C-alpha cells in the first residue's frame, strides 16, 4: 500500500459519497485535484507529507499506473515520459486540466462497488435524462452501479476504505491493511475528515450525520 493506492481508495470513497455519477462518467483532471481530492483537505487522510509527493501520486494515477483510471493516450504518454525522467516535474498534469479521465470499472469493483455483469467490461459517458414526470432515466448503454452503504460495510466487520478484515478481540483505530484512521468521522457530502464535535462540515457546509 503506497501513496497511489491510498489516493485511489480515497478518491473512490469521496466520489461514492458526494459525486456518485463519476463512478461511471468522466470528470476533468482539474476536478480531480481541486474538488474531488484536494491535498489541503486530505493531507492527513492520505498520509502524504508534501505537496510534491501528492503531485507525484496524482501524476501516477492519471498516467494509468496500475490501471486505476483511463485518460487519452497523449496525456498518459506525456505523463509517463515525464515521470521516467531524472528530474521529473509531476505538476505537469496541470497542463491537462481540461482533459477528461474515468475510473476503470474493474478497479472500482475491487473496492467493493458492484458493477452489473453486462457492463463489467466498460461504461458509458452519457448522463441520465429527465422524463416527463421529472425522474431520471439512464441513457442507453449506461452503467448502473450498486453502491454499498458505508454502514453495510461496517456491519460486516471490514475496513470501510479497503474492505480488509479486522482482527478480533481488540480495539482497532487504524486499518492494518491500508492504514486509514477508522475512528475518524467523515462528511457524507464531500468525504472530508471532521472533528467529533462538529455539527457542520467546514469544507462543504453539509450537516453532520
Q: What is the DSSP string of 109-154?
A: HTTT-B--GGGTT-------EE-TTS-EEPPTTPPP-B---HHHHH
Residue 56 host element (H or E): helix 51-62
Flag whether 117 is in a domain.
yes
CB atoms within 10 A of CB 112: 19
Name the band, by pLDDT with cuts 50, 70 and 90, for residue 109. Answer: confident
Q: In the prediction, which pLDDT does 199 show?
A: 79
Q: In the prediction, which pLDDT does 197 show?
A: 74
Flag whether 27 is in a domain.
yes
Which residues have a Cβ under 8 Å from the Cβ of 83 and sit 6 or more positions away? Answer: 56, 59, 60, 63, 90
Flag whether 148 is in a domain.
no
> Do the Cβ atoms of 123 and 102 come closer than 8 Å?
yes
pTM for this entry: 0.57
Flag whether 83 is in a domain.
yes
Flag whether 13 is in a domain.
yes
Query: By residue range, what is the domain housing residue 15?
Result: 3-122
44 pLDDT higher than 80 = yes
Flag whether 127 is in a domain.
no
Q: In the prediction, which pLDDT does 30 show?
A: 94
Q: In the prediction, which pLDDT does 61 show?
A: 96
Flag whether 158 is in a domain.
no
CB atoms within 10 A of CB 25: 19
Closest Cα partner for 160 from 45, 21, 24?
A: 45
Q: In the prediction, which pLDDT does 123 show?
A: 40
Cα gap 9→30, rounded to integer Å: 18
Q: In the prediction, which pLDDT does 1 show?
A: 80
- Among 65-74, 98-107, 110-119, 188-197, name the one with the lowest average pLDDT: 110-119
Q: In the prediction, which pLDDT does 209 show?
A: 65
Q: For the chain, give the mean pLDDT.
A: 76
Closest Cα partner for 65 from 48, 50, 52, 84?
A: 84
Which is more confident, 200 or 41? 41
CB atoms within 10 A of CB 20: 12
Residue 82 host element (H or E): helix 73-83
Cα gap 7→3, rounded to integer Å: 6
Mean pLDDT of 41-57: 90
Mean pLDDT of 36-65: 92
The CA-atom distances, in angstroms, between 84 and each of 20, 36, 63, 76, 91 are 33, 26, 11, 12, 14
User: Residue 40 corresponds to which cell in the numbers above?
Assistant: 489541503
CB atoms within 10 A of CB 21: 11
Overall number of domains in the chain: 1
Question: In 21-95, which ranges are E strands?
Answer: 27-28, 69-70
Mean pLDDT of 11-22: 87
Flag whether 14 is in a domain.
yes
Mean pLDDT of 146-159: 44
Amino acid at each position: 500500500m503506497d501513496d497511489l493506492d491510498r489516493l485511489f481508495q480515497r478518491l473512490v470513497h469521496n466520489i461514492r459519497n458526494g459525486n456518485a455519477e463519476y463512478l461511471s462518467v468522466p470528470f476533468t483532471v482539474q476536478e480531480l485535484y481541486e474538488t474531488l481530492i484536494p491535498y489541503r483537505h486530505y493531507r492527513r487522510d492520505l498520509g502524504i507529507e508534501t505537496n510534491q509527493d501528492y503531485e507525484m501520486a496524482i501524476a501516477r494515477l492519471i498516467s494509468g499506473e496500475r490501471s486505476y483510471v483511463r485518460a487519452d493516450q497523449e496525456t498518459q504518454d506525456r505523463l509517463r515520459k515525464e515521470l521516467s525522467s531524472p528530474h521529473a516535474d509531476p505538476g505537469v498534469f496541470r497542463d491537462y486540466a481540461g482533459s477528461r479521465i474515468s475510473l476503470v470499472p474493474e478497479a472500482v469493483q475491487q473496492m467493493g462497488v458492484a458493477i452489473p455483469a453486462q457492463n463489467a467490461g466498460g461504461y458509458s459517458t452519457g448522463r441520465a435524462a429527465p422524463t416527463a414526470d421529472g425522474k431520471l432515466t439512464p441513457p442507453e448503454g449506461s452503467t448502473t452501479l450498486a453502491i454499498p452503504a458505508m454502514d453495510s460495510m461496517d456491519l460486516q466487520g471490514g475496513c470501510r476504505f479497503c474492505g480488509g478484515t479486522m482482527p478480533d478481540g481488540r480495539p482497532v483505530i487504524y486499518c492494518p491493511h491500508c492504514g486509514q484512521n477508522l475512528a475518524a468521522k467523515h462528511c457524507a457530502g464531500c468525504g472530508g475528515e471532521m472533528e467529533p464535535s462538529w455539527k457542520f462540515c467546514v469544507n462543504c457546509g453539509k450537516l453532520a450525520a
